[in-house]
Amino acid sequence: MTDNIAGIGALERQVIEAALITTRPFSSSEERSKASSSLEQWTSSPGSTAASSPLDTSCWEAYINIIRISFATSHSSTPTTHSNEPSETNIIEKIAYVTSPSSKQQPPSANLEQQIQREANGAKLLLLTLFCSKIRREYIRLLREHVNLARCVFEELITALLSFGHGSQQQPNDNDTATLMRACCTAVAAVAVRSSSQQCLNEGVMKMILNCKTSIALSLGMNNGTNHVENSIRPFSPTVSLTLLADLPGEAQSRNDLPTADIEALLQMPFDATNMSAADAMLDTLQLSIGGFINGGGEMQDSLLCLTLKSLRKWAEVCKSITISRLMETSPSNSTTGNSFLSQLVALLSSQSEQRQWSTAHHAEDVIIQSADVLTACLDNTSDFCTQSRRSAVSSMLSSIQAPVEFLVSPLRNSEMHLWEDATVALSNLASTLAREEMEDISTCQLQGSFDLIQLLLELQAHPVHTVALPVLEVWLALQDIPTSDRHPSLAAPLYMQLVEVILNRIAFPPTFVSWEEELEIESSDFDEMRRMATDVLIGAYYLLRSAYLETLANVVTATSSDDWEIIEAALFCLCAASREACARVKSVANAVSSGRDSPVSSDGNSTALGLTQLVRSICSSPASSRHHLVLSGMCTFLGSYSTVWASSCPPQSVLEILAYLACAIPTPAATEAAGKGMRLVLISVGPKLAKAAASPGADPSSYNFISTALTQSMEAALSSCNATVMENVAEGCARVCVQLKDSSQTKTILTSVAMPSLHRCRSSLDAISASSSDNSSGHAASQVESATQTLISCLGVLKQLIRFCDASIGETHVLTDVLTAVWPVLKDISTNSNCRRNEDVLSRLFDVHSQLLNAVPTLIGPHFKDIISFIVQAYEETFCASALDYVSAAVESFDSEQIVAAAGLDEQSKSALFTQLLSHIYQRTFAYVQTKGPSECTQVIKAFFEVAQRYLLFCPEALCQCPELPSLFSLGTACLTECQGEIDSTRSALVFLTQFIGWKSIHLPATKVRVLRNYSSTIDNLLLQHGETITKSCIGGISGGAPQILWPSLSECLFAIMLHIISESPSGEPNAVLESWLRSSMTNNSLLNNSQNITSEIGTSTIQILCDLARQGLKSKPKAKMVMIDFGKIAKGETTPEALQAYSIT
């Protein structure tokens, strides 16, 4: 064995060896990576990206040689004898043999020869794939600059295809050969769609189609209609011809050098030699093919029939000229039999096909799939919409559904029997598309077969396979768009009553369902999607059926055995799907009754309310614990969804029973969140009703006790769930009920009663934390501290919600007075507990409670404010918790009120001094922290701090302007524009402050605050003069690619604020030299513009001019200025062209 191999150059051998290393399974990852990179780099030769670089013709020549030696004799029809060494003519195989470690480790054998052949085929496939990519990138230019070399490429690829057989030869007989043949076909198609002449854009496509037509005709023993074909054409095998035809549409679409219209022209424009379009010629060719192979005769004929249908499908998906009307026409190649494409496709999807003898089940299934996909694509193409020919085609298909043809029915039955899921999906798509696109005609049932199609769709809707049932939902939505007066009576209420039953059963859980982790029958994503998509259909069904819809589902809930829990749960889902619409109907009836008006919908609304209240009584009469956990969850969702109905139609006692039922459901894990949400909705809706009933003359004096008991039990049930979301939902609902009560003393009592369980748990958690923290070495103690801490955090969240939604004051004293008295010692103990002060989550929630108290009862908090703010600052210094700064923001805003200022024992002057000192102190601590950590590592603190600064500007500008740290604060804001490294929240917070501070004249402030800022305008001007250029550069640099696109509007506003401020201060109303200098230095700084080649000096100058013109027009032009800068950023990124700026220039 020698390494010298004749008939191949050094470059070609080097490329082949690299391909072998890349594809061999036993190559090391390092070897494979290095070889793959070298191949990619070599294939992407100079000239593939830049028009100014010369094409590397040596690369093309090397690929031509490789294609020649790969396929010249490899697959010739001459039988070869097996030998222990590769043939002299199979050069790639020989290189594989010489370089393979296996040839040195094993004696010659048939197994070794097969292994070497597989290695060689892998290398050939890789090289063909790379060559095809090169063709897509460079062939058009190669054809323009090196015509002979381009022709040589085409000829060698054609020769390679001919090596896979010609004329009537069989298809490739092994997987490797078939894969190589398909790769060759793709490469030839890529060349064909890029081959054109001055006379015809699609010359390459057309010649390829005519070649394929000749080849197929010759394989079928025909010679008619092929005399116009050039004598030089060498016929392909039918398999190659049909594969080529299938590849042409996809390759045409891959041409990114052409607009969409020209790509369509490639496949549809006329060709002089035949006076027909490429699509016409293709249809003629495929009709010839389908006529020759439709009757079968063996595996080869079945395979070729499938290939024919695949080619037709790919063309139909791309070509607008291939419509369902066009399929009805008889092509010239089939004029003698008179069979159209449509009739042949219908035959393949009918009982006639079921009686045909198929060579394999795979071919039988594939024919169904491809035929259905062809018809689906043509029906989706509405180019022939509203034409008589389309109507005739649709009428023909619909009438074929009935026996004896059984179009769609027969293949669906066959697919179900053989478990051909893909075929069933394709048939479902076809049936759904046919009904959806032709719904106006089908809905009248005037076309024979329309009702049969609807019945078929109902069967498909009930199918257990997700992808079969899902497309059908679109049909019912399309039917809903047809007025009932224009439909056949059977497609109104009767159909939708049947449809609701079908959907109910289809969306039900499997009877054996336990959890999604253990479920094997369906995917949770499919289940959720089906329910989500079915919701719109169910809403449409409710609008048609109204109370009958609810009555039917309520009967399912009450009459179905508990063993069939999945049906009950599905019925509850269907009820909830239409809850908003049903509640609106009940509310409209109630409004009509209260105003003394009777409406046509009153009877239905009364029936709706009566049916729902009967159902809720049935639900609440059974213990929650007796229900299946998913049914219980569904019932909780149902009770919440119809809360407005209970508020208007249920007596107070029934409402309390609903709340008790929901409280009993909370301990069930699967129903916990649904019960919490349901309880919140019920409490919000029934609050006014309970308050009115308790305050009405002659009301039972114990009514308030019942309300208090119900709310307290609800709150205790929520607390026992250990679910923070449920706790907060129930707390909000309880608070909303309390503030509705008319008796302030009862309100305070009940509110305190509701808050006490949380306060007790807070106290218990504090005791547990204190007791366990002394034993640091015990793992059990650490676990107890963690558990107690989480409980404390959750209970503080409950208190926050109670305070937040109790901001109403009834009478002389606030309703939160008693709660504040009870909660204050607990809050104080938390603030002094060292473990709590070290825990940022506890501190954050504690600060939230204090913020809500400050907002809700500022006059009650005023006397304690200095102590609170002292604690807040200390905690901030210890932890740098961003929530501490949020409290400062809330305090600055609250102290804009004279009442709280007075309550805190301050006057305006002392308030200003206090907040000036506060800002100075927290800035110093924040600056030191940011300087130590780095801005990008403490973005939440930066965000919160500049929100504080913004509140100072809006509510306490005197304290801000008097702050001695203001220059440093402004400097920090400027630095954060870049130092936060594009983090969105912190950068935006700094931008908002700088924008409003610089553009203070443009924000709406009370006159007193405007006077303060005017007094300090020189300070603001000096700060802008010092940092304006840096801010300008940061804004322009960020918009040109240095910042996330979501920040572009904020950056644009900041830049425009600078321009507007300077131009408005200029006596002439013109930009001064300083501003122009800032803008020009920014627009000409290449590194600032992220080295974007798209921003030229002309674009920069034009942008500056447009912005200055807009700034002269004042604040009203800010939206347009933002649009200009966003377009500027898109130009920098190459997402749009410079012409986008011309519209602004013209304006």
- Check residue 1095 and give its pLDDT: 85
**Residue where a domain stops, chosen among 711, 742, 773:** 742
pLDDT of residue 46: 60
Is the residue at 133 inside a domain?
yes
Instruction: Provide Rg for the chain, Cα atoms.
Output: 39
Are 861 and 849 in a shared domain? no
Contacts of 557 (CB under 8 A, 6+ apart): 568, 571, 572, 575, 615, 618, 619
Q: How many helices (H) and strands (E) does the chain have?
A: 57, 2
Residues 173-189 have a mean pLDDT of 90
**pLDDT given for residue 229 in this prediction:** 45
204 occurs within a structural domain: no
Other Cβ atoms less than 10 A from the Cβ of 421: the count is 15
pLDDT, tens only, 913-932: 999 999 999 999 999 999 99
One domain for residues 736 and 815: no
Choose one of 100, 124, 140: the last residue of a domain. Answer: 140
Q: Give yes or no for residue 83 having a pLDDT over 50.
A: no
Q: Do residues 481 and 533 touch, judged by C-beta distance below 8 A? A: no
Q: Is 152 exposed, middle or buried (0-12, 13-18, 19+ CB in 10 A)?
A: middle
Does residue 87 lie in a domain region? yes
| Residues 633 and 714 placed together within one structural domain of the fold | yes
Least confident interval from 97-106, 623-632, 1117-1126: 97-106
Mean pLDDT computed over 777-782: 72
Confidence at residue 104, expressed as pLDDT on a 0 to 100 scale: 67
Q: Is residue 541 part of a domain?
A: yes
pLDDT at residue 233 in the model? 58
Q: Cα separations (Å) of 212 from 166, 328, 331, 445?
A: 11, 23, 16, 44
Alpha carbons 486 and 1078: distance in angstroms, whole number: 68
Q: Given a cut of 90, is residue 80 above it in pLDDT?
A: no
- Under the banding of pLDDT at 50, 70 and 90, the label for residue 103 is low
Where is pLDDT greater, at 609 or 258?
A: 609
Is the confidence at residue 1140, as pLDDT, over 90? no
Confidence band for 84, pLDDT divided at 50, 70 and 90: very low
The confidence score (pLDDT) of residue 130 equals: 96
Q: How many residues does the chain have?
A: 1147
Which residue pairs from 873-877 have beta carbons closer than 8 angstroms and sit at least 24 positions apart in sequence? 873/918, 873/921, 873/922, 875/831, 875/837, 875/843, 875/847, 876/922, 876/925, 877/925
> 270 by DSSP, 3-state: which?
strand
Q: How many domains does the chain have?
A: 6
**For 375-401, what is each residue's pLDDT tens digit?**
999 999 999 999 999 999 999 999 999
Domain shared by 799 and 909, yes or no: no
Q: Do 616 and 654 lie in a common domain?
A: no
| Containing structural domain, residue 944 | 857-991
Assess whether 725 and 772 both reside in one domain. no
Average pLDDT over residues 162-189: 79
pLDDT at 126: 95
Tens digits of residue pLDDT in 310-359:
999 999 999 998 999 999 987 665 555 568 899 999 999 999 888 888 99
Q: Is 862 part of a structural domain of the chain?
A: yes
* Residues 851 and 870 occupy one common structural domain: no
Q: What is the rounded CA–CA span in Å between residue 9 and residue 59? A: 12
pLDDT in tens, 187-206: 999 999 999 877 777 888 98
Task: Kindly give, in sequence order, each residue whose CB lies less than 8 Å from that of residue 879, ignoring residues fewer than 6 positions away.
Answer: 837, 838, 840, 843
Report the range of poorest mean pLDDT among 42-46, 284-288, 832-836: 42-46
d(CA 992, CA 1003): 12
The verdict on residue 19 lying in a domain is yes
Asked if residue 716 and residue 774 are part of one domain, the reply reads no
Q: Are residues 846 and 865 in the same domain?
A: no
Using alpha carbons only, give the angle 346, 352, 354 rounded to the nearest 5 degrees: 110
The average confidence (pLDDT) of the chain is: 89
Q: Is residue 153 part of a domain?
A: no
Better-predicted residue by pLDDT, 810 or 1066: 1066
Q: What is the pTM of this model?
A: 0.85
Q: Residue 221 pLDDT > 90, yes or no?
A: no
Q: Are residues 680 and 615 in the same domain?
A: no
Predicted confidence (pLDDT) per residue in 730-768, tens digit: 999 999 999 999 888 899 999 999 999 999 999 999 999
pLDDT in tens, 469-488: 999 999 999 999 999 999 99
Choose one of 101, 123, 140: the last residue of a domain: 140
Question: CA of 664: how far to CAs of 455, 661, 722, in Å?
Answer: 44, 5, 15
Q: Is the pLDDT of residue 48 over 50?
A: no
